[in-house]
Amino acid sequence: MPEGGRTTRIPLVERVLEANDQVAAVNRAELERRGIFSVDLIGAPGSGKTALLESTLRALKGHRRPAVLVGDLATRRDGDRLARWCDQVVQISTGQGCHLEANQVRDALGQIDLDAVDLLFIENVGNLICPVGFDLGQAAKVGLFSLTEGDDKAAKHPYLVEAADLLLLNKIDLLPHLSFDRSSFEADVRLLNPRVPILDVSATTGQGLDAWITWLDR
Amino acid sequence: MLGVHEFSIAEALAAQVQRHAPAAGRVREVEISVGALRGLEPEALRMSWEAVTHGTAIAGSILNVDLRPWSIACSTCGRTWTSPVPFVACACGDPAPVPTAGDELNLVSLTIDEEEA
Ligand SMILES: Nc1nc2c(ncn2[C@@H]2O[C@H](COP(=O)(O)OP(=O)(O)OP(=O)(O)O)[C@@H](O)[C@H]2O)c(=O)[nH]1
Ligand SMILES: [Mg+2]
Ligand SMILES: [Zn+2]
Ligand SMILES: [Zn+2]
């Protein structure tokens, strides 16, 4: 303590991510007002987020009016892949940032003709940790796990499992080739989140995509 | 190793603390409360805190992390307890009691050394 001064404790209760959450609320209000259903897709690097969106966009052609925001550390590759299936794609380069934040989504929404959109996909940066804690204003959080990551990944990432409105288990075509214990994966999920639906999908073979499309249309 | 995941949290917190800090006085301690669900490492938070506050008006302040643990409830024997990790077996033999945790991430208090006017 400095000479002659005094020490005071100031109690506060304020969310650390309050500033982000306020922008997220603006995004959410705008998307809801426009009747746009929005999905924040969160999964590990290489789990198949872009592949899933490619096959989803293909399946939605002529049926829904999608737009995609895609967060990536350094490249434009995912955006280029998705632009083949959708004319409203915005690539968000996050540089060092390992997750998207609400203000990046706010800016990207300004680059989209929202009048021509009824479904918004946000491919978050490949990472199972930080993206969960940063609200973007999405209607639903979708967690994407894949068989090649191993059956313990739900248990190791409880925040995503708990926060997800839907879980997708991708690369299900590889089940016969891997020692992935599907029931152990599901048991871990159920302990953390008894209600979340789990859909087995394959972005490459198209297996299970019908159920995912139905979920998007509900 | 500096946890990159904790870094952006520390950055947001530093901006928030600077907004609250009174003009006269020095921030001695910052207290936050973190739910176990967040998966944040207190040590990585403290190292990130040092890095992001370096060279600012709040450099040298101590980050005090109150990590709220998992609470575990066993449906077989009815016992409840707290744990730093979610997946633990119960002493009664139940291999999978139910883990729950909060995702709070709150600034709880600032401790200020006031300067004599
Ligand atoms: N066998 C199989 N391979 C898949 C499937 N989905 C994706 N892949 C492959 O997995 C690799 C990674 O797919 P991406 O779509 O780039 O993964 P991502 O999650 O977007 O990766 P990042 O954006 O880098 O985080 C590619 O080689 C895909 O072909 C699937 O359902 N089955
Ligand atoms: Mg991708
Ligand atoms: Zn991160
Ligand atoms: Zn028990």
CA distance A160 to chain B (A): 9
Tens digit of pLDDT for each residue in B66-91? 999 999 999 999 999 999 999 999 99
Structure confidence by residue, pLDDT tens digits, A38-85: 999 999 999 999 999 999 999 999 999 999 999 988 888 899 999 999
Please tell me if residue B42 touches chain A, with a CB cutoff of 8 Å: no
Name the closest-CA residue to atom 30, ligand 1: A171
Ligand nearest to the CA of B41: 3
Q: Cβ separation of A11 and B108 shorter than 8 Å?
A: yes
Number of domains, chain B: 1
* Per-residue pLDDT band at A1 (split at 50, 70, 90): very low
Candidates B2, B6, B13, B16: best to mutate against A (most CBs of A within 10 A) is: B16
**With contacts defined as CB-CB under 8 Å, which chain A residues touch B116?**
2, 4-5
Domain extents in chain A: 9-217
Is B18 part of any domain? no
> In which order are the strands placed within the sheet that holds B62-68?
A6-15, B105-114, B26-35, B62-68
A96 against A152, higher pLDDT: A152
3-state secondary structure of A55: helix
Closest of A53, A67, A39, A158 to residue B99, by C-alpha: A158
Non-local (6+) Cβ contacts of A214 within 8 A are none
* pLDDT tens column, B36-64: 999 999 999 999 999 999 999 999 999 99
Instruction: Give the residue from A120, A164, A119 showing the smallest Cα distance to A145.
Output: A164
At residue A213, what are phi and psi to the nearest 5 degrees?
Answer: -65, -40
What is the domain class of A9-217 according to CATH? alpha beta
CB A121 within 8 A of CB A89: no
Shortest-distance atom of ligand 1 to CA A72: 23
**Per-residue pLDDT tens over the stretch A127-165:** 999 999 999 999 999 999 999 999 999 999 999 999 999
Q: Are A128 and A153 in contact (CB under 8 A)?
A: yes
CATH code: domain of residue B67: 3.30.2320.80
Q: Is B19 part of any domain?
A: no
Q: Rounded mean pLDDT of chain B?
A: 94
Domain extent at residue B108: 4-13+25-113
Kindly state whether residue B34 falls inside one of the protein's structural domains.
yes
